[in-house]
Amino acid sequence: MAQPILNVDNLEVAFSFPDGEYKALQGISFSVEPNEVVGIVGESGCGKSLTSLSVMGILPRNAHITKGDIQLNGEELIGLSEKKWQTLRGQKISMIFQEPMTSLNPLLTIGRQISEVLKKHTRLSKEERKNRTIEIMKEVGLPRAEELYSSYPHQLSGGMRQRVVIAIALVGEADLIIADEPTTALDVTIQAQILELFGEIKRKRNASMLFISHDWGVIRQICDRVLVMYAGYIIEQGPVSEIVNNPKHPYTKGLILSIPDHRKRGEKLHTIAGRVPTLKERKGGCPFADRCAYAMEICRSEYPKSHEVSEQKVSCHLYTQGVGVV
DSSP run (H or E) holding 7: strand 6-17
SS3 146: helix
Quick check: 147 and 82 in contact, CB under 8 A? no
Choice from 299, 306, 309, 313 touching ligand SF4 (CB under 6 A): 299
**Nearest residue to 238 (alpha-carbon basis) of 70, 73, 38:** 38
The size of the interface with ligand SF4 (CB under 6 A), counted in residues, is 13
When asked if residue 317 is in the footprint of ligand SF4 (CB under 6 A), the reply is: yes
Is 289 a binding residue for ligand SF4 by CB under 6 A? The answer is yes
State which residue, 166 or 289, has the beta carbon closest to ligand SF4.
Answer: 289
Nearer residue to ligand SF4 within complex by CB, 250 or 277: 250
Q: Is 256 in the site for ligand SF4 (CB under 6 A)?
A: no
Among the candidate windows 2-10, 115-123, 128-136, 310-318, which touches ligand SF4 by CB under 6 A?
Answer: 310-318
> How many other C-beta atoms lie within 10 A of the C-beta of residue 253?
20
286 makes contact with ligand SF4 (CB under 6 A):
yes
What does the H/E/C string look like for 216-255? HHHHHHHCCEEEEEECCEEEEEEEHHHHHHCCCCHHHHHH
Q: What is the dihedral of CA 299, 305, 308, 311, to 10 degrees?
A: 80
Angle at 250 between CA 247 and CA 254, to 5 degrees: 80
First to last CA, the chain: 35
Q: Smallest gap, in angstroms, from Cβ of residue 251 to ligand SF4?
A: 6
By CB under 6 A, residue 318 contacts ligand SF4: yes
Residue among 47, 304, 306, 312 that touches ligand SF4 (CB under 6 A): 304
Output 57 or 304, the one with its CB closest to ligand SF4.
304
Is residue 294 close enough to count as binding ligand SF4 by CB under 6 A?
yes
Q: Which is nearer to ligand SF4, 57 or 250 (CB)?
A: 250
Binding of ligand SF4 by 292 (CB under 6 A): yes
By CB under 6 A, residue 230 contacts ligand SF4: no
Contact in structure between 194 and 183 (CB atoms under 8 Å): yes
Give me the residues that bind ligand SF4 (CB under 6 A), please: 250, 286, 288-289, 292, 294-296, 299, 304, 316-318
